[in-house]
């Protein structure tokens, strides 16, 4: 059996909360693709034609994550490292975020209470976009169940002696675009939205990147049938860690206890969020945390 390469240390500027990421993945982890333990997270990866796995471990004695990875991913180590740093938001400057929100009546106290909150971001943008489309108008739990069915039907099987819990890749755009998705558990319209989106990505007509800027990306997504502002903003935030993305109609943001019993409506929240630019996604992270505590 080939030995795994020497682990890397990925440093960050504290504060940073492993508990936030653990809670995020605990709700969303896909069996076979991801594996969450009390102090570590592992998943499959398909990078530059290479298939493999990686695992990150939170370290108690220093501000760093330890990155273990399969020998197969050694040739694309730079890409892997950059993706993992983005996924766990390790390049965030928390003092800058705290200073930006310090005087805000609602956000200031939330940020002061949890200065280490970051933006958990997907490892793979296409996977996150699929999750967002599947998750339209259903609970996170229901979306994970349906996405899990996509994985078990369409995900390429893997076998790693040194990571037996990692058993599948997330399905490719081509696989989802061409599949028979009868009985998958989604309304027909949403299946059409998902398969049209996957076909656009598979053909190269839709680029999943922010090269032309975040606003242009959101507009590109909203031009597709069945994708509205919430889905597009959520994909920008969770797939790319876009720091100013803000899904203003998100229920968790509208019902956060900070707004009082009546909550706030999407139009009011969108106007309120103008003061939070260019860090609106961090405002969303704190409001979601406030909602989960409430």
Task: For the chain, list the strands marked E by DSSP.
Answer: 8-11, 34-37, 40-47, 50-58, 64-69
Instruction: With beta carbons less than 8 A apart as the criterion, state whether 84 and 67 touch.
Output: yes
- The active-site residue, picked from 61, 91, 244, 250, is 250
Instruction: With beta carbons less than 8 A apart as the criterion, state whether 155 and 169 touch.
Output: yes
3-state helix, strand, coil in the chain (%, to 5): 50, 10, 40
Alpha carbon distance 207, 242 (integer Å):
16
**Dihedral angle at the C-alpha atoms of 223, 224, 225, 226, nearest 10 degrees?**
-100
Active site residue 182: no
Instruction: With beta carbons less than 8 A apart as the criterion, state whether 36 and 29 touch.
Output: yes
| Residues with catalytic function | 250
């Amino acid at each position: 059996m080939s030995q795994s390469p020497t682990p890397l240390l990925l440093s960050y500027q504290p504060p940073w909360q492993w508990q936030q990421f653990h809670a995020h993945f605990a709700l969303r982890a896909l069996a076979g693709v991801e594996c969450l333990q009390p102090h570590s997270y592992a998943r499959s990866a398909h990078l530059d034609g290479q298939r493999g796995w990686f695992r990150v471990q939170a370290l108690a004695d220093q501000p760093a994550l330890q990155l273990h990875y399969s020998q197969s991913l050694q040739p694309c180590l730079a890409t892997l490292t950059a993706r993992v740093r983005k996924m766990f938001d390790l390049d965030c400057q928390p003092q800058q975020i705290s200073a930006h929100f310090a005087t805000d009546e609602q956000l200031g106290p939330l940020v002061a209470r949890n200065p280490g909150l970051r933006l958990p971001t997907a490892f793979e943008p296409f996977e996150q976009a699929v999750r967002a489309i599947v998750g339209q108008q259903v609970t996170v739990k229901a979306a994970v169940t349906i996405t899990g069915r996509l994985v078990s039907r369409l995900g390429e099987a893997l076998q790693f002696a040194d990571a037996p819990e990692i058993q599948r890749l997330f399905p490719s755009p081509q696989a989802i675009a061409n599949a028979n998705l009868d009985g998958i558990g989604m309304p027909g319209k949403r299946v059409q939205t998902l398969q049209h989106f996957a076909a656009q990505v598979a053909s190269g007509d839709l680029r999943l990147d922010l090269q032309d800027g975040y606003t242009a990306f959101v507009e590109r997504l909203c031009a597709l049938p069945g994708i509205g502002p919430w889905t597009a903003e959520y994909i920008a935030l969770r797939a790319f860690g876009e720091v100013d993305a803000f899904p203003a109609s998100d229920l968790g943001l509208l019902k956060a206890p900070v707004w009082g019993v009546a909550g706030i409506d999407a139009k009011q929240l969108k106007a309120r969020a103008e003061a939070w630019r260019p860090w609106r996604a961090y405002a969303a992270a704190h409001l979601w945390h406030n909602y989960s505590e409430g």
